[in-house]
Copies of this chain bind each other. A is one copy, B any other.
Amino acid sequence: MSANHSNRLSASEIDKSSPLPYHYQLREILRAEIVAERWRRGDQLPSEHQLCDMFQVSRTTVREALDALVNEGLLTREKGLGTFVADPKFMETWTGSAIGFSDSITQQGYLIETKVLELDIKPAPLRIRQELNLQAHEDIVYLKRLRYILKQPILIVTSYMPARLFPGMTEIDFTVNSLYQTFRREYNIPVTRVKRSIEAIAADEDIAAQLDLPLGFPIMFIENTAYTDGGTPIEYYNAWRRGDKSRFQFEYSQPHPSGER
């Protein structure tokens, strides 16, 4: 229907010597084409067989990569026709940059104080390795911070970052530097995408003690993975926030009134 794209990729290849799985590499190559809008809404991708030839991998691998992107909503498949770039999703209509709590607070003129509880280099637990796509025995920078507003402890964050990407990070003073600003300014690695989940839990003994709250106090627990260009994960964090002092706000619009299901 709509005009087809050039089918030409920007000189990306699958590194067969890399420890990263082929399907992962391919997925990120394709994702890059889409987010850079070299492939646009409605464009047809090369067929699975063509992708096999282009990247010298089996159809199993190609389908695994495509599956993931279809699942994320970036692609759609049509039997007998082909695979297409999907309509853009709500992510782009996310309002503003004030995603988190700290932003809205600083915008209101309050001062945030930070105490660094731990900052060092460690071996990465498996869970973290998977989330950050690290190979075995790769080290991570571990940063644990306690953050205060009006002298009150509000938030505990434990961050994990691949040590390989951030040399010398243990020398940085995070009582005054924001983490994401450091990524961008010191390492020239901007955060371009985050995946996040939020739940409400009761404070256990550990968390209650650190936030100076009674046991069972409502806490917002946040898991977050941050990615930079090309889909490389660069940070995973867990955060525990005082529920009564935190609020997440966001908007979500639907691009067009499709109204199915």
Contact = CB atoms under 8 A, between A and B. Distances in A.
A49 interface: no
Q: Which secondary structure characterizes the binding site on chain A? A: mixed
A196 B99 contact: no
A198 B247 contact: yes
Q: Which residue, of A97, A190, A253, has the highest number of chain B Cβ atoms within 10 A?
A: A253
A125 interface: no
B201 A243 contact: yes
Given A95-B89, A199-B246, A243-B201, A193 B251 contact: yes
Given A199-B247, A200-B246, A218-B219, 8 more contacts: A94-B252, A97-B261, A103-B261, A198-B198, A198-B247, A200-B220, A202-B218, A218-B243
28 contacts: A67-B67, A71-B71, A73-B95, A79-B126, A92-B255, A94-B253, A99-B254, A100-B261, A103-B260, A178-B260, A179-B261, A191-B254, A192-B257, A193-B251, A193-B252, A195-B249, A195-B252, A197-B247, A198-B198, A198-B220, A198-B247, A199-B246, A199-B248, A200-B220, A200-B246, A201-B218, A201-B243, A202-B216
